[in-house]
Amino acid sequence: MASDMNTGLMDQRGKNFRIDGDRLWDSLMEMAKIGPGVAGGNNRQTLTDEDAEGRRLYQAWCEAEGLEMGLDKMGTMFARREGTDPSLPPVMVGSHLDTSRPVENMTASRRAGRAGDIRTLNETGIKTRHPIEVVNWTNEEGTRFSPPMMASGVFAGVHTLDWAYGRTDAAGKTVGGELERIGWIGDEEVGARKLAAFFELHIEQGPILEDENIDIGVVTHGQGLNWLQVTLTGKEAHTGSTPMPKRVNAGLGMARITQLVDEIAWSHAPLAVGAVGHCDVYPNSRNIIPGKVVFTVDFRHPKQEVIDDMEARLRAGAAEICKEIGLEMDIEQAGKFDPVEFDDGCVGAIRRAAQRLGYSHRDIVSGAGHDACWINRVAPTAMIMCPCVDGLSHNEAEDITKDWATAGADVLFHAVVETAGIVDD
């Protein structure tokens, strides 16, 4: 990764270089006007007309800075600032412009602020050996078209292009068809670009940084996750006329297993989390004892062996609960994501940048999935996190401050430039 010489040059020439926070904020607010939500959030779901409008604004920003725009077959946008050695693979930086359902606030748009790094480079006249590319991945959220992190997944070889094209939304429209409709499908093969490193800036989506009054989260790992679907089958019966000893209540089994999930997660504190999310109760009537319930369990931890232990304990404990009540049980895996360990070199560049700039920082684990988690499979990768108000995310109350956004962009700028290698004129 970055050499000692590049680090020294950053210390000498780049120490006082800062992102223009006011300009960054103005750009973020400009993007936030596209796809406004009902209560102050954003509704710019992937491959909608609003997404297309956001892309056009982003393209205009990039063209104003003299960047060359590339577009692949998944609609991912690559804005390139050439290096002094064009033969070298680029250092990529970016995220996504799409939002989830209309429950995200403007922080979703604030991910578009990567162009601020390029503006600062151009104004300061800094040249880098490696090209720098700012990327907008298609369909990170996965709200309209499942799964999330779709384009980055195709780029990393996790999904095939044809499979991604065939994903449908609730109206039966396909990814491939909507890419064509909004006019953002390119000719470049997905994954054809080789890269030297990838950096992503994101809000924490949790309360740790704000609670501890920390400016920057240095993301060392991404949590692995295990989604399990549990089906419990009992016997429907009248709630009023069925004696308590005669009941085979599937809802009671779900309640006890929900408590078990919580206990298992607490036993692996502080990094483990677990919860019952979606649930369906049958027949879902106020005067009928549930005869069947189907619900999902979400376990997460940065170590696979802990995730495996949590699942094993769930299966054993749930079996005992069902035996006591008289329920039949079936557990199937509904989804899985392996833990991610980010590149030491990229993580080090982020840590040095925060130190150089005087920002308080701490190591942190990402509890959510991000494009960086897939790109980590094909290139050295790391993430930066900034605080968010009350730790809220995917909520119209989601918010950050200008100072938090600026600090994150400052650290991103320095980490990327150090990795790309300053050329000393």
Calpha distance 105→399 (Å, rounded): 6
| Residue 105 pLDDT grade (very low, low, confident, very high; cuts 50, 70, 90) | very low
The pLDDT score that the predictor gives to residue 286 is 96
Domain 224-337 fold is Alpha-Beta Plaits (3.30.70)
Residues 28-56 have pLDDT tens digits of 889 988 987 766 677 899 999 999 999 99
State the CB neighbour count (10 A cutoff) for residue 246.
10
216-261: per-residue pLDDT in tens?
999 999 999 999 999 999 999 999 999 999 999 999 999 999 999 9
Arch. (CATH architecture) of 4-222+339-420: 3-Layer(aba) Sandwich (3.40)
pLDDT band at 141 (very low <50, low <70, confident <90, very high): confident
Closest C-alpha among 371, 376, 380, 377 to residue 420: 380
Rounded CA separation 280/296 (Å): 9
| Digit-coded pLDDT (tens) for 352-405 | 999 999 999 999 999 888 999 999 999 999 999 999 988 777 667 778 899 999
Of all residues in the chain, the percent with pLDDT exceeding 70 is: 91
List the chain domain ranges: 4-222+339-420, 224-337
The token duo for 190 is: 């997905």
Mean pLDDT of the chain: 91
Specify the DSSP class assigned to residue 42. Answer: B
> What pTM was estimated for this model as a whole?
0.84
Assign 15 a pLDDT band (cuts: 50, 70, 90).
low
- pLDDT value at 9 more than 70: no
Length of the chain: 425
Residue 2: the pLDDT is 42
